[in-house]
Amino acid sequence: MWWIWILNTGRSYYPLQQETDMCGICGLVVHEGMTEENSIQQQVNMMVDALMHRGPDDTGIDGDQSAIFGMTRLAIRGLNDGKQPIVDRDSGVMMACNGEIDNHQELRAWLLDRGRTVEQSTDVAVIPALYLELGDAFVERLKGAFAIAIWDPREKKLLLARDRAGERPLFYSVNDGIVAFASLIAALVSPGSHAFNISTNAVHGYLQSGFFVAPETPFKDIQKVSPGEVVTIDVTGIQRRRYWRWDIVQSTKQTGSLDAFDKIFRESVRRQSEVDVDFGLFLSGGLDSSLITAVTRSIRPEKTLKAYSLRFSEASYDEGHYAAQVANTLGVEFVPVWVRPEDFPPTIAKLVRQVGEPLADPAWVPSALLASRAAQDVRVALVGEGADELFGGYPTYFGAGLAGYYAKLPEPVRTLIRRGVESWPASDKKVTIPFLLKRFIQGDDLDFLGRHILWTSCISPAILNRLGVTPPSIARPGYLSAEMLDRLQQHDLETSLAEGLLTKADRASMKSALELRAPFLDQEVMEFAASLPEKERIHRLQTKVFLKRYALRYLPAEIVHRKKRGLSVPLSSWLREPLYEWAKSRLSSPLLDRVGVNCFVAVDLLQEHRQRKADHARSIWTLIVLSEWLDWVSEVED
């Protein structure tokens, strides 16, 4: 099918101000004669408007009748140089990039040796020349966090690429010969645009996992570029190619060298903190963020650093005192950000409408509040995302092994255990033993990956059935038991991290135009982690064995070996009161019926939760966010 047809006419350029690092890209590529050039620009202008919160420093539009790209900028590097979209004068190749290219200096020198001079100093300026030199393989040479669009008029081709871990988002749609792409779904779905259809199957997957795994999105007509993927759209159709994957299963294992890792990790932190603006740190007091803070202080001893941390009035959820201890130990200014229940209704409503998709992580709201406060002082913050998936930090990893033994117990014994565990009353405290055991006993008829997916789900199959939703089938790939830890970590890195945690981090921070960087997701760091033998990741009931040993170089033992808690929100108590009435109004929405969810059962779940018959907090929150999203869809359609 002829998705794209080039008009053999001269280019019409739309001038823009000096720009560099970007936090929102969009564009349209059109079929011959389908629309007027001014109309194309108007549509791109609307898309740019929908991305303004991601990059309020400036905007830019460039292109001709065949393709027009738009962007919004948050300046991080090369503040006084560079224009985007960048157009190569000789070839007509046009490029827009949301993100940072950390190895741009090395690439600049490599290109110069091949006769290609990159005149602009901004980091992303190396991309067009690299593409012209290497073709579609250019992306394999990039290091950093990025989402890239390239239009090549010579080959009538649009190329979309996303970084290896999935730190930067990128969506696209192909409708009636018009190809559209954007950093957010909300920029693709706007009043007066093509009518988009909800994907009920994808929404049901969201109800289970809390997010959408690429290429799926909540709309049938919109797809998401996967982490480590290049999507090419040309006259032959759409081609998808994975240029990188964290192949922990096939990686050769060797005992980890502390000195070798120290060199790799320090270089990652150095590169990602080498910016032309002030930067800070997100600090929870846990191992990962504390280690990044300590290494940053070691690399940049002269710099004034601020660490931002969430606080809760509920004692079992509050880790601010641990974060303050770390900050004081390292000579970093501590900035607390208090989270209150009244923040949730207006914040989640705004987040959903800005991004155009639901995300069920309750920490999305606190993360947005944290970013909002940090954005008052800095434009970049370093975060600890990725360490748990890479180095084996989740209790479910050793739990999967224990569950194998539990599943071999006689059925009558497991029945007695199940009845005893399920009889324990619900608790409002954070991650209690009864809560963990109730998850542990589920899925004893599944393989290790199926149990893991069930344990980490938002809404259980039993609750989905009550709601009128057929539970999505859980994959049974038949992996070898010897590969269990490798497969679970790979699954989490490619799904819950890429599509859940990194989505939360990006959408929460970009609400306030704050750029987040994750040093653990540097390519060399990820590849080092893949080489660690199992005993250096999980050993009996100890997690992150190697990383903890390494962290002792920078942090006191009491911080390194403190019990893992993670970011959780006291939703269980808040949904009983003071958020009960708001939750009831959301769950009562008849719009839930549109995706096959029985709103009367949803309200019943809330009542059971309020009466402490069960802890349905996670299920209720997942449905609340879906209800907010359906409200937004209805508003757009009107």
- For the cut 90, the answer to whether the pLDDT of residue 443 exceeds it is no
Q: What percent of the chain has pLDDT over 70?
A: 89
Give the closest residue to 503 by CA, choosing from 70, 160, 214, 245. Answer: 214
- The pLDDT assigned to 6 comes to 29
Rg (CA), the chain: 24
pLDDT: which is higher, 544 or 566: 544
Mean pLDDT in residue range 560-580: 89
Alpha-carbon distance of 477 to 449, in angstroms, equals 8
The fourth-level CATH superfamily of domain 22-242 is: Aminohydrolase, N-terminal nucleophile (Ntn) domain (3.60.20.10)
Q: Provide the token pair at 180.
A: 């559209």
Bridging pattern class, strands 306-311 and 333-338: parallel
pLDDT band at 157 (very low <50, low <70, confident <90, very high): very high
- The pLDDT assigned to 32 comes to 59
- For the cut 80, the answer to whether the pLDDT of residue 150 exceeds it is yes
CA dihedral 167, 170, 171, 177 (to 10 degrees): -160
The tokens 């090395």 sit on which residue?
106
Whole-number average pLDDT of the chain: 89
According to CATH, where is 3.40.50.620 located in the chain? 245-568
Alpha-carbon distance of 169 to 149, in angstroms, equals 12
Digit-coded pLDDT (tens) for 491-511: 999 999 999 999 999 999 999
The tokens 């609750």 sit on which residue?
463
Digit-coded pLDDT (tens) for 365-388: 999 999 999 999 999 999 999 999
- The pLDDT assigned to 437 comes to 67
Digit-coded pLDDT (tens) for 510-535: 999 999 999 999 999 999 999 999 99
Alpha-carbon distance of 631 to 634, in angstroms, equals 5
pLDDT: which is higher, 58 or 41: 41
Amino acid at 531: S
- At residue 571, φ and ψ (nearest 5 deg) are -65, -35
Q: Are 62 and 48 in contact (CB under 8 A)?
A: no
3-state secondary structure of 515: strand
Alpha-carbon distance of 101 to 142, in angstroms, equals 6
Digit-coded pLDDT (tens) for 575-590: 999 999 999 999 999 9
Q: Provide the token pair at 332.
A: 């970093």
The tokens 């994750």 sit on which residue?
518
Bridging pattern class, strands 86-87 and 94-101: antiparallel
Digit-coded pLDDT (tens) for 199-230: 999 999 999 999 999 999 999 999 999 999 99
- For the cut 50, the answer to whether the pLDDT of residue 187 exceeds it is yes
pLDDT: which is higher, 55 or 359: 359
pLDDT: which is higher, 37 or 505: 505
Alpha-carbon distance of 148 to 141, in angstroms, equals 13
Q: Provide the token pair at 94.
A: 């046009």
- The pLDDT assigned to 78 comes to 55
- For the cut 80, the answer to whether the pLDDT of residue 403 exceeds it is no
Digit-coded pLDDT (tens) for 236-254: 899 999 999 999 999 999 9
- The pLDDT assigned to 416 comes to 79
The tokens 């309750």 sit on which residue?
362
According to CATH, where is 3.60.20.10 located in the chain? 22-242
Q: Within a 10 A sphere around the Cβ of 251, how many other Cβ atoms?
A: 15
pLDDT band at 293 (very low <50, low <70, confident <90, very high): very high
3-state secondary structure of 207: helix
- For the cut 50, the answer to whether the pLDDT of residue 132 exceeds it is yes
Residue 233 burial by Cβ neighbours in a 10 Å radius (0-12, 13-18, 19+): buried
Alpha-carbon distance of 546 to 563, in angstroms, equals 16
- The pLDDT assigned to 17 comes to 32
Alpha-carbon distance of 211 to 262, in angstroms, equals 34
Mean pLDDT in residue range 88-116: 95
Alpha-carbon distance of 186 to 632, in angstroms, equals 10
- For the cut 60, the answer to whether the pLDDT of residue 270 exceeds it is yes
pLDDT: which is higher, 580 or 193: 580
- The pLDDT assigned to 76 comes to 66
The fourth-level CATH superfamily of domain 245-568 is: HUPs (3.40.50.620)
Q: What is the DSSP letter of 344?
A: H
pTM: predicted TM-score of the whole model, two decimal places:
0.91
Q: Provide the token pair at 102.
A: 């950390």
- For the cut 60, the answer to whether the pLDDT of residue 407 exceeds it is yes
